[in-house]
C-alpha cells in the first residue's frame, strides 16, 4: 500500500463546474472584488438577508495595532429568527425545516417551516412570560432534539443571547459557563439519549444551579420521562410553559451589531473562551458559506453531524441552513450505534445529499473497516465535508473512495468558533482539491502567514496563520473580557488576528493547516507540525489514529513521542513499533521518526472530538501532577491508563 502523496490533485468534476454556484474564474473574480471593493461586495451580499432596515454603513473594521474593533452593517436592523423562519413561510411553509433522527433508529420526526415557526414563537412567548428580555442571557443545556434549535431561535426572536452548553458537560463545567455570562434562565431536559443509554441532565443542572445565583428559572423538557427532582418556584416544564402560548410572536428589532449568542470554545488549549457573535455579520457568514462552500441548492437534504453545543452545530445545523430555507438533519445518536453503519443508514433513510462531519468520526469508522459502509447505498450523496481538525490525507482518501465512491468532492473547511463560519475552504465547483489541504480563502478573508517574529512571509512558506481580515463572521469580543480578547488574538502579530494555528502555503497558494502552534515540535532546531507526523503514521495500514507531541530530550532538545491507536484487529508488537519508525523515516525523513511510541487504546479528546495534545505532552514528559483544565475532556479515566502505559515505556 502506498502512502498518500500530498501532491495529488483532484480536479473539479466537469458536471460540478456547470452546476455549482461558482466556477474557478467566477471565484477568482469575486474574491478579488471582495478584497478590493469590500464595501460594494458586502453591500450586495447583505441582500441575501431580510432586513427591517437595510444597512448603509457596511464595513468598519480595524485589527489594530492601536484601535481594535469589528463592526459590520452597523445601521442595519433585522431579526435572525425572521431570517430563518418567517421569510420562508410564503414559499416553503410545508417544506421540512428540521428532520430529526433519534438515537433509536425507530424514532424520527419532521418539523416543517410553518411548524418550526409556531414552536419558536410559542417558546419565545413563554420566555417573555418568565421575564426574559432583550439582552438577557439564556443557557441552553439540551440534548440533540429539535427543541434545542427552537430554544436558540426563540432567544433570537426576543433578542436574548443564547449560550448553548454541550449536554455531555458535567455540572461543574455547566456552572462555570452559566456564571461566566450571568445567565438568567436555563433550559434543559430530564435526560438525554445517546448510543442506547440515558444520561442525566436535570440532575446536573440542579447541581450546577446551586452555584448559580443569577438563574431565576429552569425550564425542563421531558425527553425520556426519567425521574427528576423539582424545585417549586424555579423549575417549569417546557410543555406547560409553551402549551397555552400564542403561535405568533412579534420579533424584536435588532441592530446588526446586537449580540446573537455567546459560545465557549472547545478548550483544546486551555480555559474555554466566551466567544461573542453579533447578529447580521454572523448570520450572513453562516448562510453564505452554507450556500457556497457546502453548495446548498433548494432540493438538497443537508446533514451536519456536529453537536448543537459547538459552533459547527450553530452555523451548519441551525443558522446557515435555516437562513437558506434548507432541510437540515439533526441526529441524536452516535456513528457506531446500534452498529457502525448508522451514519450511512441515516443518509439512505433521509436521502441526504450533503454530508458534513469531523475527522475524528471518520477515523473511528475507518477503524471498523469498509464493510459497514459498503452495506449501504449512499446514492443520494453528492458532496462531503470535513471540519474540526486537520484531516489526514489517508482519512481524506478513505472518505473520498469508500464513502463517496469517488463521486463526491470533499470540502475540508478550516475555521474556528471565533471565525463563526468557514474561512479557508474550497468552493466545490471552483477549486481543485488536494487531500489534507483546506485550499483557499472564502470571500472577504485574507489569510497571511508570519514567522515567529511576526514578519509577514510571502509565496511558498510555513509559519503562523493569521488573518488580516476574517470577514463579517468574526467574533466581536470575548464576553465581558475584552482584554483577554485583545491579548489572545491581537497581541502576537500587531495588526493581525492570530489564529493559534500553524499553516503552510504551497506553490499554488493552497493553505495546509499544520496543527496548533502550541503543539509544534522542535527537534534539533527543526520545527515539525504535529499534523504531518500524525498523517504519516495514520497512512500506515495498521494504524487507526495517532497523536504526536514533543518531550524533553537531552540531545535533540525535543524528542518525538507518538501515541498510536491500532486498527480493530491488529495486535501491538515490537516489530510493528520498529516498522512504524521506518515508515515515518521513509515518509517524511529521519528527523520525524518517533523516539518513543506508546500504544493507546484511545486518545484523550475534548468533548467535540479534538485530540488534547497538551495533556499528552504532560504525560510524555512524565509531569502529571497538574494536567491543567481537563473539564472539557470526554473521558478522564483513559488519562490514567495512558499514564500507566507511559511507565512501561520509561
- The residues binding ligand ATP (CB under 6 A) are 265-269, 272-273, 310-311, 387-390, 412-417, 438, 499-501, 513, 516, 608, 610
Residue 459's CB is within 10 A of a number of other CB atoms, namely 9
Nearest CA to 208 out of 236, 180, 227 is that of 180
In the complex with ligand ATP, the residue whose CB is nearer, 145 or 531, is 531
Least separation in angstroms between CB 71 and ligand ATP = 22
Bridge partners, residue 53, by sequence: 77
**Which residues does the annotation place in the binding site for Mg(2+)?**
538, 540, 543
* Residue from 45, 61, 57, 58 nearest 467 by CA: 61
Least distance (Å) from ligand ATP to the CB of residue 275?
8
C-alpha grid cell for residue 603? 486518545
- Nearer residue to ligand ATP within complex by CB, 268 or 345: 268
Q: Which is nearer to ligand ATP, 270 or 541 (CB)?
A: 270
- Evaluate whether 156 touches 81 at the Cβ level (below 8 Å): yes
Cβ 500 to ligand ATP shortest distance, Å: 6
Residues 432 and 410: their CA atoms lie apart, in Å, by 10
Helix, strand, coil: what percent of the chain each, to 5?
A: 35, 25, 40
- Feature table: binding site: 194-197, 312, 388-390, 412-417, 501, 516, 524, 527, 538, 540, 543, 585
Give Cα separations from 645 to 554, 563, 616 (angstroms): 22, 10, 12
- Report the candidate in 102, 108, 313 with the shortest Cα–Cα distance to residue 192: 102
Tell me the C-alpha distance between 312 and 335, whole Å: 17
Report CA-CA distances (Å) from 176 to 307, 425, 604.
20, 34, 22
For residue 151, the minimal CB distance to ligand ATP (Å) is 21
Cα–Cα dist 559/481, whole Å: 37
Closest CA to 511 of 566, 441, 417: 441
Count the Cβ atoms, other than its own, within 10 Å of residue 404. 18
Smallest distance, Å, CB 310 to ligand ATP?
A: 6
Nearer to ligand ATP, 256 or 440 (CB): 440
* 501 vs 545 by CB, closer to ligand ATP: 501
The residue assigned the cell 448543537 is 308
Beta carbon nearer to ligand ATP, 101 or 412: 412
Rounded least distance, CB 470 to ligand ATP, Å: 12
- Cα 530 to chain centroid distance, Å, stands at 20
Q: Which residues are annotated as a binding site for CoA?
A: 194-197, 312, 524, 585
Shortest Cβ distance from residue 198 to ligand ATP (Å)?
27
Of residues 523, 588, 510, 514, the one with CA closest to residue 554: 523
367 vs 607, beta carbon nearer ligand ATP: 607
Nearest approach, Cβ of 465 to ligand ATP (angstroms)?
9
Taking phi first (over 0 means left), then psi (-120 to 50 degrees means alpha), and beta for anything else, what does residue 224 get? alpha
> Given CA atoms 346, 348, 350, 355 in this order, what sign does their dihedral have?
positive
Closer residue to ligand ATP in complex, CB, 398/414: 414
Q: Which is nearer to ligand ATP, 12 or 513 (CB)?
A: 513
Cβ neighbours, 10 Å, residue 129: 13
Work out how close the CB of 336 gets to ligand ATP at its nearest, in angstroms, rounded to a whole number: 22
State the Cα–Cα distance between residues 267 and 270, nearest whole angstrom: 5
Cell (9 digits) for 435: 487531500
- Residue whose C-alpha cell is 488574538: 489
Closer of 464 and 516 to ligand ATP (Cβ):
516
Our CB check for ligand ATP shows the closer of 116 and 531 to be: 531
Rounded least distance, CB 632 to ligand ATP, Å: 8
Q: Would residue 270 be called left, alpha or beta, if left means φ above 0 and alpha means ψ between -120 and 50 degrees?
A: left
Q: Which residues pair with 39 in a beta bridge?
A: none
Strand partners, 163: 139
Numbered residues of the known binding site for ATP: 388-390, 412-417, 501, 516, 527
Written as nine digits, the cell of 404 is 463517496
Minimum distance from CB of 519 to ligand ATP (Å)?
9
Of the candidates 614, 436, 409, the residue with the CA atom closest to the CA atom of residue 520 = 614
Amino acid at each position: 500500500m502506498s502512502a498518500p502523496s500530498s501532491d495529488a490533485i483532484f480536479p473539479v468534476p466537469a458536471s460540478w463546474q456547470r452546476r455549482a454556484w461558482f466556477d474557478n474564474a467566477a471565484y477568482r473574480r469575486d474574491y478579488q472584488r471582495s478584497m478590493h471593493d469590500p464595501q460594494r461586495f458586502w453591500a450586495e451580499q447583505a441582500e441575501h438577508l431580510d432586513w427591517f432596515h437595510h444597512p448603509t454603513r457596511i464595513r468598519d473594521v480595524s485589527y489594530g495595532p492601536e484601535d481594535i474593533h469589528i463592526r459590520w452593517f452597523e445601521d442595519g436592523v433585522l431579526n435572525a429568527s425572521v431570517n430563518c423562519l418567517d421569510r420562508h413561510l410564503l414559499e416553503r411553509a410545508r417544506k421540512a425545516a428540521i428532520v430529526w433522527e433519534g438515537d433509536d433508529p425507530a424514532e424520527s420526526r419532521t418539523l416543517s417551516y410553518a411548524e418550526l415557526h409556531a414552536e419558536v414563537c410559542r417558546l419565545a412567548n413563554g420566555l417573555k412570560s418568565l421575564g426574559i428580555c432583550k439582552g438577557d442571557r439564556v443557557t441552553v443545556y439540551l440534548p440533540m432534539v429539535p427543541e434545542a434549535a427552537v430554544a436558540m431561535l426563540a432567544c433570537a426572536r426576543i433578542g436574548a443571547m443564547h449560550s448553548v452548553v454541550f449536554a455531555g458537560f458535567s455540572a461543574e463545567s455547566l456552572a462555570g459557563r452559566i456564571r461566566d455570562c450571568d445567565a438568567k434562565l436555563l433550559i434543559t431536559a430530564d435526560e438525554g439519549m445517546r448510543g442506547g443509554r440515558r444520561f442525566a441532565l436535570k440532575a446536573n443542572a440542579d447541581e450546577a444551579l446551586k452555584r448559580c445565583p443569577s438563574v431565576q428559572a429552569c425550564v425542563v423538557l421531558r425527553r425520556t420521562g426519567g425521574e427528576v427532582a423539582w424545585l417549586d418556584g424555579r423549575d417549569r416544564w417546557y410543555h406547560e410553559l409553551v402549551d397555552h402560548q400564542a403561535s405568533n410572536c412579534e420579533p424584536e428589532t435588532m441592530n446588526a451589531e446586537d449580540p446573537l449568542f455567546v459560545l465557549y470554545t472547545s478548550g483544546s488549549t486551555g480555559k474555554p473562551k466566551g466567544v461573542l457573535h453579533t447578529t447580521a455579520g454572523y448570520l450572513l457568514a453562516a448562510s453564505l458559506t452554507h450556500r457556497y462552500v457546502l453548495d446548498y441548492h433548494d432540493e438538497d437534504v443537508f446533514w451536519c453531524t456536529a453537536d448543537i453545543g459547538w459552533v459547527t452545530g450553530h452555523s451548519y445545523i441551525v443558522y446557515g441552513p435555516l437562513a437558506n430555507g434548507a432541510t437540515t438533519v439533526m441526529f441524536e445518536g452516535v456513528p457506531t450505534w446500534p452498529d457502525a453503519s448508522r451514519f450511512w443508514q441515516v443518509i439512505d433513510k433521509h436521502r441526504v445529499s450533503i454530508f458534513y462531519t469531523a475527522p475524528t468520526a471518520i477515523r473511528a469508522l475507518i477503524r471498523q473497516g469498509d464493510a459497514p459502509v459498503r452495506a449501504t447505498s449512499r446514492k443520494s450523496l453528492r458532496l462531503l465535508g470535513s471540519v474540526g481538525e486537520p484531516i489526514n490525507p489517508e482519512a481524506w482518501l478513505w472518505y473520498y473512495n469508500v464513502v463517496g465512491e469517488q463521486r463526491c468532492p470533499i470540502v475540508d473547511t478550516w475555521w474556528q468558533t471565533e471565525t463563526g463560519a468557514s474561512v479557508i475552504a474550497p468552493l466545490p465547483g471552483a477549486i481543485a482539491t488536494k487531500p489534507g489541504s483546506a485550499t483557499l480563502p472564502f470571500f472577504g478573508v485574507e489569510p497571511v502567514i508570519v514567522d515567529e517574529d511576526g514578519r509577514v512571509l510571502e509565496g511558498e512558506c510555513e509559519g503562523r496563520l493569521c488573518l488580516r481580515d476574517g470577514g463579517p463572521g468574526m467574533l466581536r469580543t470575548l464576553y465581558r473580557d475584552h482584554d483577554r480578547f485583545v491579548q489572545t488574538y491581537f497581541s502576537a502579530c500587531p495588526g493581525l488576528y492570530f489564529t493559534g494555528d500553524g499553516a503552510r502555503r504551497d506553490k499554488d497558494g493552497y493553505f495546509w493547516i499544520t496543527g496548533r502552534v502550541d503543539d509544534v515540535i522542535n527537534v534539533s532546531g527543526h520545527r515539525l507540525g504535529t499534523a504531518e507526523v500524525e498523517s504519516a503514521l495514520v497512512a500506515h495500514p495498521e494504524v487507526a489514529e495517532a497523536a504526536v507531541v514533543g518531550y524533553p530530550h537531552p540531545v535533540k532538545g525535543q524528542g518525538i513521542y507518538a501515541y498510536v491507536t491500532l486498527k480493530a484487529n491488529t495486535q501491538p508488537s515490537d516489530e510493528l513499533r520498529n516498522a512504524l519508525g521506518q515508515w515515518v523515516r521513509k515518509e517524511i525523513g529521519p528527523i520525524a521518526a518517533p523516539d518513543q511510541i506508546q500504544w493507546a487504546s484511545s486518545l484523550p479528546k475534548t468533548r467535540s472530538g479534538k485530540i488534547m495534545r497538551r495533556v499528552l505532552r504532560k504525560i510524555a514528559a512524565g509531569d502529571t501532577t497538574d494536567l491543567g483544565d481537563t473539564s472539557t475532556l470526554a473521558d478522564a479515566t483513559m488519562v490514567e491508563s495512558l499514564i500507566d502505559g507511559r511507565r512501561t515505556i520509561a
